[in-house]
C-alpha cells in the first residue's frame, strides 16, 4: 500500500485545493492514445492482465488476492479517491483494445506529493516502452497535477526498475517497509525527486 513520502513539505491550503482539483479534472490526453480512467466494467480484463506474475508480483499496492471481485472493489475505491482529488487509476490499451498497462497515481494534496506505481505487459518490458512511458508520466504528474514532490519504491531485486528510476533523476533515500493489502511485508528501495530537480534534468 502507498505511504506518504519521507520528506514533509509545508503546503498552503490553497495549493492543496488546487492539486485536488487538478486530479479530479485531469485530462489524460497528454499521456498518449489508449489511456483512460479504469472503470468497474474493466475489472475482468484488468484482472486477467494483472494475473501474469511477470506483471504483478513486484507491485505492492495491488489488491490481494487478485480476484475479479477484489479488482472491481479496487477500481470503485479508486474512482472515489479520484473524485476526491487523491488518486488516478489509469489503464492503457493497445490498437486492438487489449489492456497492456496500468498506472496508479496516489496523491497527497496536503503534502504536495505523489507516488506512481504501474506495469506494462511482459511482452513490452524489454522494448524500452516502460522507460519512455514512465518519463512521460513523471513529467505529466509535475506539470498537470501541480505537486512539488514525487516518491517511488521498488523491490531490491528489481534491477530494471531501479535503473529506470535513477536514470530519471530520482535520488536514492535508503529503504522503507512496504505492506501489501494482504499484510505481506518487504523492505523496498526508496527514492524521491522534487519538481525543481526534475526541471533541472528534463526542462
Q: What is the dihedral of CA 80, 105, 178, 78, to 10 degrees?
A: 20
Per-residue model confidence (pLDDT) at position 131: 66
pLDDT number for residue 14: 98
At residue 126, the pLDDT reads 61
pLDDT value, residue 191: 98
Q: What angle do CA 112, 81, 111 make, to 5 degrees?
A: 15
In CATH, what number does 13-150 get? 3.40.630.30
Q: Where are the domains of the chain?
A: 13-150
pLDDT at 58: 85
Check if the beta carbon of residue 139 is closer than 8 Å to that of residue 198. yes
Strand partners, 104: 89, 117
pLDDT digits (tens, 9 = 90+) for 185-202: 999 999 999 999 999 999
Amino acid at each position: 500500500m502507498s505511504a506518504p513520502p519521507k520528506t514533509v513539505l509545508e503546503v498552503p491550503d490553497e495549493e492543496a485545493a488546487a492539486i485536488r482539483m487538478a486530479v479530479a479534472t485531469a485530462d489524460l490526453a497528454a499521456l498518449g492514445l489508449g489511456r483512460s480512467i479504469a472503470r468497474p466494467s474493466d475489472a475482468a480484463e484488468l484482472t486477467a492482465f494483472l494475473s501474469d506474475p511477470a506483471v504483478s508480483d513486484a507491485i505492492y499496492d495491488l489488491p490481494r488476492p487478485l480476484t475479479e471481485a477484489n479488482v472491481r472493489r479496487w477500481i470503485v475505491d479508486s474512482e472515489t479517491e479520484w473524485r476526491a482529488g487523491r488518486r488516478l487509476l489509469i489503464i492503457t490499451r493497445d490498437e486492438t483494445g487489449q489492456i497492456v498497462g496500468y498506472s496508479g497515481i496516489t496523491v497527497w494534496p496536503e503534502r504536495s506529493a505523489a507516488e506512481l506505481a504501474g506495469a506494462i505487459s511482459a511482452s513490452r518490458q524489454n522494448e524500452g516502452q516502460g522507460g519512455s512511458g514512465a518519463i512521460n508520466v513523471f513529467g505529466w504528474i509535475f506539470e498537470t497535477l501541480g505537486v512539488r514532490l514525487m516518491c517511488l519504491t521498488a523491490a531490491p531485486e528489481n534491477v530494471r526498475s531501479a535503473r529506470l528510476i535513477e536514470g530519471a533523476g530520482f535520488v536514492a533515500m535508503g529503504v522503507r517497509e512496504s505492506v501489501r493489502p494482504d499484510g505481506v511485508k518487504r523492505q523496498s528501495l526508496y527514492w524521491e525527486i522534487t519538481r525543481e530537480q526534475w526541471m533541472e534534468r528534463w526542462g
